[in-house]
Amino acid sequence: MVAAAPALICASAELENGGDARRFEIERADGRRQAAFVVRYQGRIHGYLNRCCHIPVELDLQDGKLFDLTGHYLICSMHGARYRPDTGYCTWGPCRGQSLTALDVGEKDDKVWLNVMPDEFC
């Protein structure tokens, strides 16, 4: 669980291109927790709150398997919304045109970091 940033999420080697997401939780000042994840896509790390834009449920039913079979979209397991891994933009599904809440994440010293806590968790 992450309560302040910068915070270590995982080792860089844990994230393969188009592979399983690394899930983690962010803790708000009021103690509420929000699921989040990081993935690697085309060599770069991307992080988002783990909350679909259609209904606020976790995209992956807690197994970290977010990429579709093409390896180019993150897919919501509930109703199939597809999001671009690099922007979080929903290209298909009931929430098309909306975007996942992006997190400021990055790599340094072979580790993946949450650089800044998000301002809000809506």
Where along the sequence are the contacts to ligand FES (CB under 6 A)?
52, 54-55, 57, 76, 78-79, 81, 93-94
Minimum CB distance to ligand FES smaller for 10 or for 57: 57
Greatest extent of the chain over all pairs of C-alpha atoms, in Å = 39
Q: How far apart are CA 107 and CA 91, in angstroms?
A: 27
Q: How far is the CB of 84 from ligand FES (least distance, A)?
A: 15
Q: How far apart are CA 111 and CA 101, in angstroms?
A: 22
Minimum CB distance to ligand FES smaller for 9 or for 53: 53
Q: How far is the CB of 31 from ligand FES (least distance, A)?
A: 25
Q: How far apart are CA 49 and CA 27, in angstroms?
A: 12
Minimum CB distance to ligand FES smaller for 7 or for 57: 57
Task: Please report, as a single letter, which amino acid is at residue 71.
Answer: G
